[in-house]
Structure formats: structure tokens, C-alpha cells
């Protein structure tokens, strides 16, 4: 594996993943929705103004790509989440979630395949979330967040469909849950939504890299929690005792 493209890499998981791979000596290409970060790049090749919610995101990447260079690994980390309750819905935000999470990635992958940047033995990973699993929804987890959960469920479906369409091209596709992340503020890291199992982006990126060492065509079309079930609030109610569940864990749809 030589050339890695990480879509959505200016912060969080994508940023940590890009830095870790670059430090390992990989050639890393990374996209920013707007301008590229002003912090040290660690040799990362940045592509600015790539908005996954826009239909032309893949074409923009292809236009800045070096000829004859294949993507060995594509990781789409770009996402958008807005909280909602049943009494506090937001139509435009829901549309934005679906466009960013589930619609845009399909067009991006299609454009890169047609540009012959993604081809035989390339691998595609879509970073989703356990909250897109219908099987894991349970009363103990509550309702709400219709756009957030619905768009992630849609990502699971399009990821599965992409895996079917790209299998004849020898391009495996998988969806992963990397866990809930702590966010950074001026005082340092604080836990996402008060979840004691939330981790720093570096920890999630390391777990994802470890899982990627095992990812090949045998796992195409599958949905994995690379850090196991510890941060999945409904896992015990749906899947059984946490200490009986393996890490990594293949998740139900």
C-alpha cells in the first residue's frame, strides 16, 4: 500500500489518520472542505475545496490527481451531524446530512473509478456509525436524531450496493464504526456527549489502521466496529453481554 486518499482530513479522525500514515512513510493525499490547514503538513498532499455534499467533489479530486497514480486506499471520513428531537426537526439540516453522508460519497467513488484512479485492488472504507444500524436501535437508546441516524443507515445501504457493483472490479468496500470521539477545545479534550468511552481521534485512527491490515475482499460489503462494542449503548440489550463480544466486532445492519 503506497497511496492513500483521506476525504475529510482537516480535523478529527481524518486528520489523525492522515498524520499517522504520513509518519509511516505512506504517500498521503487529503482533502479539505475549504482551505487547507496552516499547521505542519507532515508531507501530506492537500486538495482544497472538496465538499462531499457537492456532486462534483470526485471530479475536483481527479483534476488535481497525478497521472498514472492509483489510490491504494480511500477512506471517506467527511460527515455532518445535527441533533434533532421529534418536536424539533430541521428539514434543511436533514437534507444536508443525507447529501454529505450518503449521497455524495457514491458520486465521489463513481467519479474516481471512471477516472481510473480507483481500480483493481484499490480499497474503499466509508466511515459510518453504529447509529446507522437498524438492528441496534432499541428503546434504551431513545429516539430522535432522525437525520443523523437515517443518513448513516442510508450510508450502510449505499456501501453495501457499492461493494456489489465494485466486486467485479476487485475493489472491496466496507463501512466502519470507529467509536465516538472527544472533541478539542481551548482547554484540551472533553468527552463527546458525556460518553466515558469516547476516545481521542489518535486512538480511533490507530484502531482503524490496525483493522485495515485485515481488510480485503473477504470483508467487502461488511460493517465493522473496529474498537468493539464498548461505546455502543444498545449493544448489550441487542447483542448480549459485552464481555462475550469480540473486538473488532462485525455489526448487524
pLDDT digits (tens, 9 = 90+) for 130-153: 999 999 999 988 999 999 999 999
Looking at residue 141, its pLDDT comes to 86
Across the beta sheet with 45-47, the strand order is 45-47, 27-31, 3-7, 73-76, 123-127, 173-177, 223-225, 249-250
SS3 174: strand
pLDDT digits (tens, 9 = 90+) for 3-51: 999 999 999 999 999 999 999 999 999 999 999 888 777 889 999 999 9
Of 4, 64, 202, 225, the closest CA to residue 136 belongs to 225
Distance of alpha carbon 109 from alpha carbon 131, whole angstroms: 23
| Under-50 pLDDT residues of the chain | none
Give me Rg for the CA atoms of the chain.
17
Instruction: Return all residues near 190 (Cβ < 8 A) that are at least 6 apart.
Output: 182, 183
Place of cell 465516538: 180
On whether the CB atoms of residues 6 and 75 are closer than 8 A, the answer is yes
Pairing type for strands 45-47 and 73-76 reads unpaired
Sequential DSSP letters for 102-154: IIHHHHHHHHHHHTTSS-TT-EEEEE--GGG-STT--GGG-S--HHHHHHHHH
Q: C-alpha grid cell for residue 31?
A: 482533502
Pairing type for strands 223-225 and 249-250 reads antiparallel
Distance of alpha carbon 132 from alpha carbon 149, whole angstroms: 5
Distance of alpha carbon 206 from alpha carbon 20, whole angstroms: 8
Distance of alpha carbon 140 from alpha carbon 213, whole angstroms: 34
Amino acid at each position: 500500500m503506497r497511496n492513500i486518499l483521506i476525504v475529510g482530513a482537516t480535523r478529527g479522525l481524518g486528520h489523525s489518520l492522515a498524520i499517522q500514515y504520513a509518519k509511516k512513510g505512506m504517500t498521503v493525499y487529503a482533502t479539505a472542505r475549504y482551505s487547507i490547514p496552516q499547521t505542519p503538513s507532515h508531507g501530506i498532499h492537500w486538495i482544497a475545496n472538496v465538499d462531499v455534499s457537492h456532486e462534483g467533489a470526485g471530479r475536483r479530486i481527479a483534476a488535481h490527481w497525478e497521472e498514472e497514480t492509483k489510490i491504494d486506499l480511500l477512506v471517506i471520513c467527511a460527515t455532518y451531524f445535527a441533533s434533532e428531537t421529534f418536536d424539533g426537526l430541521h428539514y434543511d439540516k436533514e437534507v444536508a446530512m443525507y447529501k454529505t453522508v450518503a449521497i455524495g460519497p457514491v458520486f465521489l467513488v463513481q467519479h474516481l473509478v471512471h477516472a481510473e484512479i480507483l481500480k483493481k485492488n484499490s480499497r474503499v472504507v466509508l466511515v459510518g456509525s453504529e447509529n446507522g444500524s437498524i438492528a441496534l436501535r432499541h428503546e434504551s437508546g431513545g429516539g430522535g436524531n432522525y437525520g443523523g441516524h437515517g443518513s448513516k443507515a442510508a450510508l450502510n445501504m449505499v456501501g453495501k450496493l457499492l461493494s456489489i457493483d465494485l466486486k467485479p472490479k476487485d475493489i472491496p468496500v466496507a463501512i466502519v464504526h470507529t467509536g465516538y470521539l472527544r472533541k478539542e477545545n481551548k482547554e484540551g479534550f472533553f468527552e463527546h456527549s458525556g460518553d466515558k468511552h469516547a476516545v481521542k481521534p489518535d486512538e480511533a485512527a490507530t484502531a482503524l489502521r490496525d483493522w485495515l491490515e485485515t481488510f480485503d475482499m473477504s470483508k467487502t460489503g461488511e460493517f465493522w466496529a473496529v474498537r468493539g462494542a464498548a461505546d455502543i449503548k444498545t449493544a448489550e440489550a441487542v447483542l448480549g453481554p459485552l464481555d462475550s463480544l469480540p473486538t473488532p466486532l462485525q455489526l448487524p445492519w
